[in-house]
Amino acid sequence: MQTATTYFPSIKDVETASEKLKEVVSVTPLSKNERYSNQFDCNVFFKREDLQQVRSYKIRGAYNKMSSLTDIEAENGIVCASAGNHAQGVALSCKLLKIHGTIYMPAPTPNQKIEQVKMFGGDFIKVVLVGDTFDDAYEASKLECERLSKTFIHPFNDEKVIEGQATIGLEIIDQAQHPIHYVFVPVGGGGLASGLSTLFKELSPNTKIIGVEPEGAPSMSVAIQKDRIVELKNIERFVDGAAVRRVGDKTFEICKQNLDAVITVPEGKICQTILELYNKDAIVVEPAGALSIAALDLYKDELAGKNVVCLVSGSNNDITRTPEIKERALLHANLKHYFIIKFPQRAGALREFVVEILGPNDDITHFEYTKKVNRENDVAVVGLELKSPRDLQPLITKMKLHNFYGDYLNDKPDLFQFLV
């Protein structure tokens, strides 16, 4: 009986990838962030992959894979499926290598992202919009590969892609002036974490590599816990750059052995981090790009005096998502609350609610009347933003005392999803 051998990228193959990428990718800065360093009493460095031409690290793996194709494979063309960063990396690689490609994207993909892909690929790519989800686009792209004998460029579960992403590890080790104690790396399908962790296990074995997933899409965490790949039935897609239902078989085996831990971070905490980086550091990141930094709080007791690297994976953030990011951040901070409020059918009831029930720092951010439940009361869905989480219970007490309280909606996901 033969035992399958786990693939690990070799240092030689990663160095070869690095040579291929020299004229294509930027050696991005490893820059110290003073604010986070002071906050956690350690040295926090950001590896700024958000500063690549395509605004993410994905160009590394895509170009390394595509530059490794045979002449026949290159002539036949390539196919990929993506709603974001991978598509842009593949598109630019198509133009640089003069390989024709078809990029399948879900129909609801924001037009800004579609235009970016077209801009990077120029005449060498065709964008096909199909289905409602990434899974729909993926299935359609695989059918084209089989029908036309084209090469599929996988976003993470491919040896050459993993080796391309691993070049980030070479750069970090070369740039660091002191031993690195921790590296926090975002995990979606696991390509980046696989490459990076292998490099560090070889060249800096005492460094702890911590994989970070969004709480709503813990595909690698679940797989490692169960010691087998699991396809999650339902995932939260907000952190779109790291939200996958199923990790790769190659990436699973590598991450299972190489990562010192895989942790999850709530989407609301990620949103808080996005806003902090923008408001205090003038850094724009996408949700997946904030994952590694958002995880620092979970390790605050272990970081004092240490040298810590957070991989900032990308900055392709759609500006139209800003209201949702603010909303999720406030909810996570326990500062935004939704209620069903019963207003008695009498003059001055609304004024009484505003003047007598709400505190001086409470703001109404949402107000929507619904149909009457009886003759005595009108009903409204009301969203309130508080100054402090401590203000919530006194507010509820006053609502009940004055017979305004109907229900609290934050902890009722079936209703709450229609408000956020």
- Catalytic sites, residue numbers: 58, 313
Classify each residue of 29-54 as buried b or exposed e, where b means 16 or more C-beta atoms within 10 Å of its C-beta. Answer: ebeebeebbeebebbbbbbbbbbbeb
What single letter denotes the amino acid at residue 164?
G
- Going by the DSSP 8-state scheme, the letter that residue 260 receives in this structure is S
- Going by the DSSP 8-state scheme, the letter that residue 359 receives in this structure is -
- Can you give the length of the chain in residues? 420
Question: How many angstroms separate the CA atoms of 7 and 139, rounded?
Answer: 26
Residue 123, number of CB atoms within 10 A of its CB: 10
Spell out the alpha helix ranges (H) of 259-343. Answer: 267-281, 287-294, 322-332
Contacts of 305 (CB under 8 A, 6+ apart): 41, 42
In the sheet with 101-105, reading across from the earlier edge strand, the strands are: 125-129, 101-105, 78-81, 151-152
Question: How many angstroms separate the CA atoms of 63 and 161, rounded?
Answer: 8
